[in-house]
Amino acid sequence: MLDIKFLRENPEIVKQNIRNKFQDAKLPLVDEVIALDKENREIKQEVEALRARRNKLSKEIGGLMAKGEREEAEKVKAQVSADAGRVNELSEREKEVEARIRQIMMTIPNIIDPSVPIGKDDSENVERERFGEPTVPDFEIPYHTEIMEKLHGIDLDSARRVAGNGFYYLMGDIARLHSAVLAYARDFMIDRGFTYCVPPFMIRSDVVTGVMSFAEMDAMMYKIEGEDLYLIGTSEHSMIGKFINTINKEEDLPYTLTSYSPCFRKEKGAHGIEERGVYRIHQFEKQEMIVVCRPEESPMWFDRLWQNTVDLFRSLDIPVRTLECCSGDLADLKVKSVDVEAWSPRQKKYFEVGSCSNLGDAQARRLGIRVVGEGGKKYFAHTLNNTVVAPPRMLIAFLENNLNEDGSVRIPEVLRPYMGGKSVIK
């Protein structure tokens, strides 16, 4: 959410940013919120003046009564009563105006970083850098669920009977591999100085609207019927929500946290749910990282965060690349975003396994995450998040890149302690 003062003083910058995100339907909202903001300030001024006059007239009434000038006193009382009615009327309008201003301000997209490439959708994202040499073996690589099924590691049919499409049973060594990857990712991030956390897996509506746009909320979140609770789509939501309505000491920053959680997503929209695979599903587990920091430090932390994911995948011998998200592919709260994509030898292309985002002060402004700086001055923190690893999507890259011709799967050395010393799954 933008600062209303910034929008008031820079309407053309805000409008151009909307155009850069190809959301021209939102352009009229800028003029509407400016007009509402002007009305709101005028209301406040009139209410303040009426209250000041009421205080003055109330004193006059006492003086007139003391002099026995009852008729004059009644006239003044009538004026006080009329002013009180006008204050009530204005106060009601003020609530309406402020509610509409907040609704609009939560709809207008955040100002993107100047380095973000301009483009309509994810087809115009820009490759930045490759890490590791992508290779294709001289034998055919089956679809990932076929690899798992041959290793007795997945049961989709039972999951459909129990829960429907978008769910799975992981079994045996594949289930163990899934947990091993998460445990390794947890320790990897702890070794990099992040504090490990297991957060609540449900959050209230004020946290949901604080961490994401209304469009994202509708497409992703599962609501708990009869309660003000939502299942989290990623632990970032719960982790950033940890700081809601807090005032933090500048010297305590940055907060660097890594968290484990299950994630639940509707996956509503064009992509849909995969019937055979486990790439796009309703339920999965994830290791996440978040940072709450000073504004001037967020670009540095952004680069550190995506590099962590690259380094983790490279430690497992999986080639990856970074992809800069273009303006039209950025969610409304994001300033800048980079996707990390892993190499798929079967598809002979890269696919997304993680996303790193700098949200500036958008989430902090919505959630009230403030920092006390030098001289007691308060300001909004910057927040960032990034995927460490998200099985089972990561398992697709792992299995394809470590598959042997006989159908067995190599276990990289760093994972073997988490797999009971196994070097191969047969």
Residues marked active site are found at 265, 280, 352, 355, 393
Q: Which two tokens stand for residue 352?
A: 């997304």
CB-based contact 119:329 (threshold 8 Å):
yes
**Dist CA 6 CA 209 (whole Å):** 21
CB-based contact 11:109 (threshold 8 Å):
no
**Dist CA 339 CA 117 (whole Å):** 14
Burial class (CB in 10 A: 0-12, 13-18, 19+), 252: exposed
Per DSSP, what are the bridge partners of residue 285? Answer: 262
Site of tokens 């105006």: 97
Q: Which two tokens stand for residue 150?
A: 């041959």
> What separation, in Å, do the N-terminal and C-terminal C-alpha atoms of the chain show?
52
Question: How much of the chain is in helix, strand and coil states, percent to nearest 5?
Answer: 50, 20, 30
**Dist CA 73 CA 66 (whole Å):** 10
Q: What value does the CA radius of gyration of the chain take, rounded to a whole number of Å?
A: 28
Q: Which H helix or E strand runs over 410?
A: strand 409-410
Site of tokens 């004026």: 79
Other C-beta atoms within 10 Å of 194: how many?
A: 20
Closest by CA position to 394, among listed 305, 290, 307, 315: 315
64 backbone φψ class: left, alpha, beta (φ>0; ψ -120 to 50): alpha
**Dist CA 386 CA 369 (whole Å):** 19
Burial class (CB in 10 A: 0-12, 13-18, 19+), 4: middle
3-state secondary structure of 284: strand
